[in-house]
Amino acid sequence: MSKLTVAIPVYNSQNTIKRVVEELIENITEYLLEIVIVNDASEDNSRQVCLDLFEKYPKIIKFYSLAKNFGEHNAVMAALNNSTGDYTIIIDDDFQNPISEIKKLADYSLNKNFDVVYTKYEKKKHSIFRNLGSKFNDKVANWLLKKPQGLYLSSFKSVSKFTVNQIIKYDLPYPYIDGLILRTTSNIGQIVVEHSKREQGKSQYTIVKLIGLWLNMVTNFSIKPLRFATFLGFTFSIVSFLLAVAGILIKLLDPSAPLGYASLLVSVAFLGGIQLTAIGMIGEYIGRTFLSISKLPQFVIKERHEKKE
């Protein structure tokens, strides 16, 4: 019998996580099931609910509680570091991934020879804000990570044991799971599944968290933004030189021609903005390099609850 791990990062999900776990245990019986729950320092009663679940199903559940809120991708890394299944399926804690679709993904993954299988939704039930963020992230990933066209980087996916073992070698503080997958393998499949509406609560992805996720992808897995900044700087240097030559010629041909003070200010402000953007991008790379060298932890497990062999 194949072993299936379901990894669940949990944040403020006291009202949904119990149902998610119990329905998984009730319905997924054709595999040797392991459920790895990581509580990302929830502010509600999620920790106690998860602990009660572990005490009820100690042979199936592993439960880890992080010392502070590290973010979803860090919590997933904590789960992957403790996964032992032939395939690990990563799901959300909000019941937007129906149990029937989890079984469908598990069957497809174990019957095919893909290293990773992403899901694609016929109709996404996220908020408009979340969908716009996902579309933007998708377009950037096409450019930066050489993501295959048409592949949707869903958080609901299955990852083979081989790929998990490669991913967890990454121990730097800003993981981006899909970037790690795309740099590890090109043997990737995709399957269409249903997506349910969030039953309770609201998405934890704020504009700040989405920007942080985007920066993780941009600065950790590609130097293309630096090359783009260099290209932009070179382009505007040429444009500025041509404008300067044009200004000199106009003044020589018509000494009475006034030079535009307003246009000069606009040009200086615009070029200054380009320079500051490029410097900021370089600073982001340098800052992340510093934090990586200083060994900022990817996650810190405060509590470990797992059945001892």
Q: In the predicted model, is pLDDT for residue 97 greater than 70?
A: yes
User: Which range among 191-200, 259-268, 276-285 shows the weakest confidence by mean pLDDT?
Assistant: 259-268
Q: What is the 3-state secondary structure (H, E, C) of the chain?
A: CCEEEEEEEECCCCCCHHHHHHHHHHHCCCCEEEEEEEECCCCCCHHHHHHHHHHHCCCCEEEEEECCCCCHHHHHHHHHCCCCCCEEEECCCCCCCCHHHHHHHHHHHHHCCCCEEEEEECCCCCCHHHHHHHHHHHHHHHHHCCCCCCCCCCCCEEEEHHHHHHHCCCCCCCCCHHHHHHHHCCCEEEEEECCCCCCCCCCCCCHHHHHHHHHHHHHHCCCHHHHHHHHHHHHHHHHHHHHHHHHHHHHHHCCCCCCCHHHHHHHHHHHHHHHHHHHHHHHHHHHHHHHHHCCCCCCCEEEEECCCC
Average confidence (pLDDT) over 279-307: 79
- Is pLDDT larger for residue 76 or for residue 230? 76
**pLDDT tens, position by position, 181-226:** 998 999 999 999 986 665 555 555 556 666 666 666 666 666 666 6
